[in-house]
Every structure is written in structure tokens, then in C-alpha cells.
């Protein structure tokens, strides 16, 4: 299986706790025999390389340097994510099975690639705009929420880290409960459950007439 993980933070760029979580996830997936590409942002350490843990990291920078906020910054960065993911797709002779998008930042890219290549994605929720902004509903917050909603709508499965978050996703975005999978990080059988979600996403595409073997 070959998976691409999208995350806006990944070591050495650490913003919050997501960076190290994604690194542990990617490393363990490699140990379980998955080909893992991580597409992430870095201002100048750009390009693809194979790390010591076997993960292939591809870092992109923003083609538009000046921004008025994180939202416009994210929206123009997505095209570079699309470019690198598409390059990976073509370089591996279209043998990519799925995308795992971590939080909202690169949902637009995941959606484009899904529509373009019939490539499924799972949306892994670490946090939601509702909680980060304490319920603020300015146009800025609503725009981010609309992107999170798009992720829940277009993804094959939504992966959350707790029962509480599952209920929040249901409450905020009206997602059917059976579309949400709770996977507690580092818990017993953690990797088995992640791989189960991945296989399910790939299988869904097969039965929908996808091109993956």
C-alpha cells in the first residue's frame, strides 16, 4: 500500500503537537510495510528526500510570500501541495492508494486530487476551528469551518482521536456516525485500526470502479 499524508507541520517544523504525532504515525506505517510520503510545509528546506525512518518527505514553500492571514496563506499553499502530490502520483506510475489529510489546511488539495484521480482520502481531525476559536463566527472562522465541512463531506472516513471529538464532529457538521472512526493514538491496536481505515478507503474505490489493483 502507498499513502500520502498531508500535514501543515512535520519535524523539524513544529508548531503544536501534530508534528510529532504525524511523524510517529508515518514511521509506524513504514514499519508495517506501507510506502509513506509526507507532504508538508517548510519555508526553505524544500524538495523530496527519504528520511532515516524510511518515510519520504516532500516539503513545499508558499509561492505567494505576502499574506494577510493564515487563511489566504493556506489557500495559495495548496497548489504546491497539489503539484508535489501529482508528481508523486505520476512518478509512481499512478500507484497511489490514498491520501490521509491531517486537519483542515490541505483539504482543498485532497479534494482536487480525489476529483482528478478518483483517489480516496481520509480526513484525520486533531482539532476543530469551533474549539480553537472558542465558537467565534466571523467570516474568517466561518471560511475555515466551511473547509472543515468540505473535508467531512468529501472524505471516505473521518478519523478522530476521542469519543468526545466524534460527538463534536456529529454536532458541528452533521456527519453520520458510521462515517467517523475513533482511533486513540498509541493505544493497543492503534496501527491495526489505522490500517483498517486505509484498506476500507482503498476497497471503496475499487468497488466504485477505481483504477487501483
Partner 1 sequence: MNYKLRVLMFSWEYPPRVVGGISPHVYYVSKNLAKNGVEIYVVTCDFPGAPSREVVDGVHVLRVDSYKNPAPDFATWIYLMNMNMRKEAAELIRNLDGEVDILHAHDWLVASATIGLKHVFRIPLVATIHSTEFGRRNGIHTDYERMIHETERWLTYEAWKVVCCSNYMVSHVAWVFGVPSDKLIMIPNGVNAADFQINFNKEEFRRKYALPEEKLVLFVGRLVYEKGAQVLIEAAPKILSKVNAKFVIVGDGYMRDPLLKRVQAMGLLHKVLFTGFVDDWTLKRLYNCADVCVVPSLYEPFGITALEAMASKAPLVASDTGGLSEIVEHDRTGVKVYVNNPDSLAWGVTRILLNPDYAEMLKENAYRKVLREYDWNGISIRLKNLYSVVREEYQRGSWKP
Interface with partner 1 (CB under 8 A): 63-69, 71-72, 75-76, 78-79, 82-83, 86-87, 90, 108-109, 111-113, 115-118, 138-140, 142-143, 146-147
Nearer residue to partner 1 within complex by CB, 23 or 205: 205
Nearer residue to partner 1 within complex by CB, 14 or 70: 70
Query: Where do we find the cell 466551511?
Result: 146
CB of 88 to partner 1, least distance (A): 11
Nearer residue to partner 1 within complex by CB, 11 or 63: 63
CB of 80 to partner 1, least distance (A): 9
Q: How far apart are CA 114 and CA 16, in angstroms?
A: 28
Nearer residue to partner 1 within complex by CB, 27 or 79: 79
CB of 122 to partner 1, least distance (A): 18
CB of 34 to partner 1, least distance (A): 23
Q: How far apart are CA 175 and CA 178, in angstroms?
A: 8
Nearer residue to partner 1 within complex by CB, 18 or 113: 113
CB atoms within 10 A of CB 196: 14
3-state secondary structure 1-54: CEEEEECCCECCECCCCHHHHHHHHHHHHHHCCCEEEEEEECCCCCEEEECCCC
CB of 212 to partner 1, least distance (A): 15
Amino acid at each position: 500500500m502507498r499513502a500520502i499524508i498531508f500535514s501543515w507541520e512535520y519535524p523539524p517544523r513544529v508548531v503544536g503537537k501534530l508534528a510529532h504525532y504525524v511523524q510517529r504515525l508515518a514511521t509506524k506505517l513504514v514499519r508495517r510495510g506501507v510506502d509513506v510520503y509526507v507532504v508538508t510545509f517548510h519555508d526553505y528546506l524544500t524538495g523530496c528526500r527519504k528520511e532515516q525512518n524510511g518515510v519520504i518527505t516532500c516539503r513545499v514553500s508558499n509561492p505567494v510570500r505576502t499574506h494577510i492571514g493564515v487563511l489566504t496563506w493556506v489557500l495559495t499553499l495548496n497548489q504546491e501541495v497539489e503539484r508535489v502530490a501529482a508528481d508523486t502520483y505520476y512518478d509512481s506510475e499512478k500507484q497511489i492508494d490514498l491520501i490521509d489529510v491531517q486537519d483542515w489546511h490541505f483539504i482543498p488539495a485532497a479534494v482536487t486530487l480525489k476529483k482528478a484521480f478518483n483517489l480516496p482520502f481520509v480526513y484525520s481531525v486533531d482539532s476543530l476551528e469551533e474549539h480553537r476559536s472558542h465558537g467565534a463566527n466571523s467570516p474568517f472562522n466561518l471560511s475555515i469551518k466551511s473547509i472543515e465541512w468540505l473535508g467531512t463531506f468529501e472524505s471516505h472516513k473521518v478519523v478522530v482521536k476521542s469519543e468526545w471529538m466524534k460527538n463534536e464532529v456529529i454536532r458541528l457538521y452533521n456527519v453520520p456516525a458510521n462515517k467517523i472512526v475513533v482511533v486513540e493514538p498509541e493505544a493497543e491496536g492503534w496501527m491495526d485500526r489505522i490500517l483498517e481505515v486505509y484498506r476500507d478507503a482503498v476497497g471503496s474505490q475499487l468497488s466504485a470502479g477505481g483504477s487501483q489493483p
